[in-house]
Amino acid sequence: MSKRPWGYQPLNKRPDPQWALHPDTHAVRTGLSRSGFGETSEALYLNSGFTYSTAEEAVASFADETDHFVYGRFANPTIAMFEQRLAAIEGAEFCVATGSGMSAMFASIACMVKSGDRIVASTAMFSSCYVVLTEILPKWGVTVELVDGNDSKAWAQALSKPTRVVFIESPSNPMLDIVDIKLVSDLAHKVGATVVVDNVMASPVLQKPLELGADVVMYSATKHIDGQGRVLAGAILGSRDYLQDHLSQFIRHTGPSLSPFNAWVLVKSLETMGMRVERMSNSAQQIAEFLEDRSEIKSVRYPGLKSHPGFEIAKKQMSGGGTTLGIEFKGSQKDAFAFMNRLRIIDISNNLGDSKSLITHPATSTHRRLAPEVRAEMGITDSVLRLSVGLEHSSDLLKDLKQAF
Ligand SMILES: *Cc1c(COP(=O)(O)O)cnc(C)c1O
């Protein structure tokens, strides 16, 4: 999948392979493969096919005996640059890019399960992930058991039986529930399960699930990785064995490929991701502290607040509270809507992880598809708003929030 692009890079201009580079350096350097023109920035190879100089070279390429690219559904030089860069930042053996976060989520699990297999997952999750697990996979004979992500006894009980896959979203969208990734991974491995973490809300900057014991990490790159509201994309990261034994064949033949153009946007986005996410997370912390003291607010869900039930675990496994807050108003949905409508800088939008601050009402938008009982279980009441904090200066965001009350 991520073949080394066969571009030109003089040998004396490559870092010593022994150097353990900082993720910030990987973010601007790793994966870069220059063409013979020696361009500074990553090149965009916007093509679906590749040519061969001889029939024999075509044979060797199809037999995987050369590094020659074959077809856009399998690999592309620009996509490979994005995959190698993200893998280096994450500390994973490989990365496969996909066309959306949902295709990454679906492929990461579907490539492993067959009829009769069992999946265990934490209840609080993004609604499309919930639909995949509770409606689509069960149609094909896969059993899914959901547990309260905060309840270690419930995890121990659910993981006392043979399990194929454990799926965790931590922090969860939109209520920022925290699951102890290490604890659950240890339990899961005892029953032979593969642990998949949806790390969208934390981003590669604030949480490294593979270091905590998870086997596979998936992203919606639409969120913090692009982080500028431009492209839809996804990524799956993990071990070489997972790629060879499960994912590679599934991806090659089902085709959830990313466009090279979108990969080119993303490879440039990775250069600034660390700075963006750290800044957004610092602002979100300030805003969470401000909102927690407001009399109009019933509760603020933010992993960087001591009041969050998962605060201690979040402190252990994340290097910041994240960019997103769940805000529950004391009043009704009408009051929450009035607040949204009075905002002058923060946009009403269902996206998150963007450079622009965005606010949404999950019960009627992102999580509308869930039954009211399921929303209630996730704590998504009609007076909950989700705020994704962007790159505007925090003083202006605080000004906007204050005037909206
Ligand atoms: C947005 C999101 C997804 C889906 O990603 P798309 O790029 O929209 O397909 C999956 N998981 C979480 C937690 C998300 O926020």
Q: By residue range, what is the domain housing residue 40?
A: 23-268
Residue nearest to atom 7 of ligand 1 (CA): 101
Residue 346 belongs to domain with CATH number: 3.90.1150.10
Q: Is the CB of 231 under 6 A from ligand 1?
A: no
Ligand 1: centre distance to CA 222 (Å): 7
Judgement on whether residues 295 and 219 belong to the same structural domain of the protein? no
Whether residue 124 sits in one domain with residue 107: yes
> What are the beta bridge partners of residue 359?
348, 387
Question: What integer is the mean pLDDT of 292-305?
Answer: 96
Note whether 173 and 300 are same-domain residues.
Answer: no
Q: In this structure, which amino acid lies at residue 6?
A: W
> Stretch 128-136: mean pLDDT, rounded?
96
Does residue 241 fall inside a structural domain?
yes
The verdict on the CB of residue 200 being under 6 Å from ligand 1 is: yes
Residue 377, pLDDT score: 82
Q: Is the pTM of this model over 0.85?
A: yes
Q: Are residues 185 and 238 in the same domain?
A: yes
Is the distance from the beta carbon of residue 105 to the nearest atom of ligand 1 less than 6 Å? yes
Residue 117 reports pLDDT greater than 50: yes
Same domain? For 245 and 302 the reply is no
At which of 225, 247, 268 does a domain end? 268
Are residues 301 and 257 part of one domain? no
Using one digit for the tens of pLDDT, what is the confidence trace for 234-243? 999 999 999 9
Rounded to the nearest angstrom, the distance between the alpha carbon of 103 and the centre of ligand 1 is 9
Is residue 5 a part of any domain in this protein?
A: no
What confidence score (pLDDT) does residue 1 get?
43
Say yes or no: 249 and 296 in one domain: no
Cβ(108) to ligand 1 under 6 A?
no
The pLDDT value given to residue 13? 67
Same domain, residue pair 201 and 138: yes
For 62-91, letters b (16+ CB in 10 Å) and e give eeeebebbbebebbbbbbbbbbbbbbbbbe
State percent of the chain over pLDDT 70: 97
Query: Rounded CA gap, 290 and 43, in Å?
Result: 44
Among the three residues 268, 294, 325, which one is the final residue of a domain in this structure? 268
Asked if 256 and 103 touch (Cβ cutoff 8 Å), the reply is yes
Residue 2 lies in a domain: no
CB 363 within 8 A of CB 385: no
Same domain? For 249 and 343 the reply is no
Measured in angstroms, how far is the CA atom of residue 219 from the centroid of ligand 1?
7
In a domain, 136, yes or no: yes
Question: Do residues 317 and 179 make contact, with C-beta atoms less than 8 angstroms apart?
Answer: no
What separation in Å is there between the alpha carbon of 403 and the centre of ligand 1?
31
Are 263 and 287 contained in the same domain? no
How does pLDDT run across 9-65, given as a tens digit for each residue?
555 667 777 888 999 999 999 999 888 888 899 999 999 999 999 999 999 998 888
What distance in angstroms lies between residue 102's CA and the mean position of ligand 1's atoms? 6
Average pLDDT rounded to a whole number, residues 341-351: 96
Residue 219 lies in a domain: yes
> Phi and psi (nearest 5°) for 59?
-60, -50
Residue 210: pLDDT above 60? yes
Q: How many domains does one find in the chain? A: 2
Ligand 1 neighbourhood includes 173 CB (under 6 angstroms): yes
CA geometry: angle at 303 spanning 166 and 393, to 5°? 125
Residue 142 CB–ligand 1 contact under 6 Å: no
Residues 211 and 227 in one domain: yes
Looking at 201, 233, 268, the residue that finishes a domain is 268
Domain for residue 190, yes or no?
yes
Q: Which tens digit of pLDDT belongs to each residue from 242-253?
A: 999 999 999 999
Instruction: Identify the pLDDT of residue 171.
Output: 97
Instruction: Say how many Å lie between the CA of residue 220 and the centre of ligand 1.
Output: 5
Lowest mean per-residue pLDDT among 11-20, 172-181, 272-281, 303-312: 11-20
Q: What is the pLDDT of residue 4?
A: 46
| Confidence at 2, pLDDT banded by 50, 70, 90 | very low
Please write the tens of the pLDDT for every residue from 55-92. Answer: 999 999 988 888 889 999 999 999 999 999 999 999 99
Residues 261 and 301 in one domain: no
List the CATH number of the domain containing 68. Answer: 3.40.640.10
Classify residue 194: in a domain, yes or no.
yes
